[in-house]
């Protein structure tokens, strides 16, 4: 088996494992209280803020690898992470979903730039 086939098999296995984990998490989430869901969302937001620099750096490496392999510009646009800025949930809110976010979307391959506040 060549290296590309090994990588494809590995990726397929990882994606199947992530899908199974997501189904399990969804079943657990359906039974969770609002307080438990809010705590999980707050922890997720904190982890994203804490690790944003590393996440964006890893994404930049992935994009460079994609360019080197000849991925199309529209596909690279879809793979690129965008940054979100805004007011994030606090413990005093009734719902973390009530946060306001400014979104910046860039799709350079088609010359599109959208800002929403």
Q: Percent of the chain beyond pLDDT 70?
A: 69
The DSSP secondary-structure symbol of 80 reads S
Question: Dihedral angle at the C-alpha atoms of 108, 73, 69, 56, nearest 10 degrees?
Answer: 40
User: Can you give the pLDDT at residue 116?
Assistant: 52
Question: Mapping DSSP to helix (H, G, I), strand (E, B) and coil, where does residue 104 land?
Answer: strand
Q: Which residue has the tokens 């199309």?
A: 72
User: Can you give the pLDDT at residue 85?
Assistant: 54
Question: Mapping DSSP to helix (H, G, I), strand (E, B) and coil, where does residue 39 land?
Answer: helix
Write out pLDDT tens, residues 52-105.
888 888 989 999 999 999 999 888 888 887 765 554 555 555 555 555 544 455
| Spatial separation of the C-alpha atoms in residues 33 and 63, rounded to whole Å | 38
pTM: 0.57
């Amino acid at each position: 088996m060549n290296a590309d086939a090994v990588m494809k098999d590995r990726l397929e296995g990882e994606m199947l494992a992530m899908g199974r984990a997501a189904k399990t998490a969804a079943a657990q989430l359906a039974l969770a209280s609002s307080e438990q869901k809010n705590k999980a969302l707050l922890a997720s937001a904190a982890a994203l803020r804490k690790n944003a620099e590393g996440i964006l750096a890893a994404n930049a490496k992935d994009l460079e690898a994609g360019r080197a392999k000849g991925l199309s510009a529209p596909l690279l646009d879809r793979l690129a992470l965008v940054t979100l800025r805004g007011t994030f949930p606090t413990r005093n809110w009734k719902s973390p979903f009530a946060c306001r976010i400014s979104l910046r979307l860039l799709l350079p391959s088609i010359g599109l730039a959208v800002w929403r506040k």
